[in-house]
Amino acid sequence: MFQRKICGITSVQDAQAMIAAGADALGLNFYPQSKRFLSAEIAPDVRQAIPSEVAAVGLFVNADVVDVAAVAKKLSLDWVQLHGDEPPEYLARLRQLGAPPILKAFRCGPDWKVEIAQFLSRCGDLGCRPAAILIDGFQASAYGGTGKTADWNALVDWPQWLNCECLVLAGGLTPDNVSAAIAQVRPTAVDTASGVESEPGRKDLQLAASYCANVKIAMGE
């Protein structure tokens, strides 16, 4: 399992820079409405720039399940991140189609803990539990990448109520606050996009290096 994921890679240059900065997972965003959308024309070159020791994570939002499986296979993705409103049956179908491990994202919106519990219960019934859960900040008009922080206080006891072994904490994480977030939540991994950017879709090497260094220290490496 990775620890330091940086999402929203839009170029080969940014992929190489984020790897040099210390990221051990890179997110490739295939949601067309995102400012960090990675086109099908550029995606193969970006994927080729990611070495085997760094996880390549494809992010999708309410995409056609067959298309997701096809992209995952074509690009040899290590993870599929579902960041939309995909139901448990969607995960079951992805598994049938031979997709890689699934990272299911949830936002800290109204009744989010109940939503997660019901979702995972249904996944258990279908035999399609996600390999990891990602918790993001909430903004009603967006599916992520907003810079809004998640509810750290509500996640302090996540091992007791989140019926999943791996928690990825996202939402507004920066070099300045990631150490405090890890100290409070103790997640399995952390994920950022806007927190290490000079502008949406453009990564900043110095910010990313500082971020990854702080994560390593906070995680006890």
- For the chain, report the end-to-end CA distance as a whole number of angstroms: 14
Known catalytic residue at 212 = no
DSSP sequence for 148-197: PPP-HHHHTTHHHH---S-EEE-SS--TTTHHHHHHHH--SEEEESGGGE
In DSSP terms, 52 is beta-bridged to: none
Q: Which of 7, 108, 123, 128 is catalytic?
A: 7
Known catalytic residue at 136 = yes
Which residues lie below 8 Å from residue 41, measured CB to CB, with a gap of 6+? Answer: none
Q: Which of 136, 191, 204, 212 is catalytic?
A: 136
Q: Which residues are catalytic?
A: 7, 136
